[in-house]
Amino acid sequence: MMAAAVAALPAFGLVPGFTGLAATAASAATTGCVLPEEANAKATRIAAGLNAFRASEGLRPVSHARELSRAAQTQACDMASSGSFSHRGSDGSNHRARVERTGYCAGVSAENLAWGYPRAQQIITGWQGSPGHRQVMALDRAQEFGVGIAQGAKGPVWVLVMAQPC
């Protein structure tokens, strides 16, 4: 069985046919980042699970933002290549800095991480059961999200970024 760890940083800031990772796959390949098999399908399942959870909480759905997926993918690739599991990037960045580097102006943003889970539903269920992760997924002011997934030595690395645009 795969080891799994999850971390959340609540920092107070479904699109059918999700294609967020398709846009980041080329840049991931140039940095040596490996995407797991069916990365877009897995990201789509994360999006569906996220919005199903939000609906169950009486919250409006969030829509996909490519910039947020680029920020999430940057961190997923960084963690997978470095073997670390942290909201702090190897360059010292936090999620807010990574979001800003994409040109996205976030009024509010937050980030969830997960590692080692092979299936998207395991991530959603795990995040729902953790108060910090649940808070990020239920961020009422969030209107958009991005997902990043990379294949690490001990399994997939997952990053969810939620934000409210300026």
**CATH value at residue 109:** 3.40.33.10
Q: What is the DSSP letter of 29?
A: H
User: What pLDDT sits at residue 92?
Assistant: 86
End-to-end CA separation in angstroms for the chain: 42
Range of the domain at 154: 41-165
Which residue, among 93, 92, 96, has the nearest Cα to 161 in the 3D structure? 96
**CA-to-CA distance for 165 and 104, rounded, in angstroms?**
7
112: β partners: 8, 160
Determine the 3-state secondary structure of 151 from DSSP. Answer: strand
Q: Is it the case that residue 150 has pLDDT exceeding 80?
A: yes
The two three-digit tokens of residue 2, written as one number = 């795969």
Q: How many domains does the chain have?
A: 1
Give 8-51 pLDDT, tens digit per residue: 322 222 233 344 544 444 445 446 799 988 889 999 999 999 99
Question: Beta strand 144-152 with 155-165: parallel, antiparallel or unpaired?
Answer: antiparallel
User: What pLDDT sits at residue 31?
Assistant: 62
Q: Is residue 9 assigned to a domain?
A: no
**CA-to-CA distance for 97 and 149, rounded, in angstroms?**
19
**CA-to-CA distance for 72 and 30, rounded, in angstroms?**
16
Q: Is residue 141 assigned to a domain?
A: yes
Q: Is residue 15 assigned to a domain?
A: no
Confidence of residue 89 (pLDDT cuts 50, 70, 90): confident
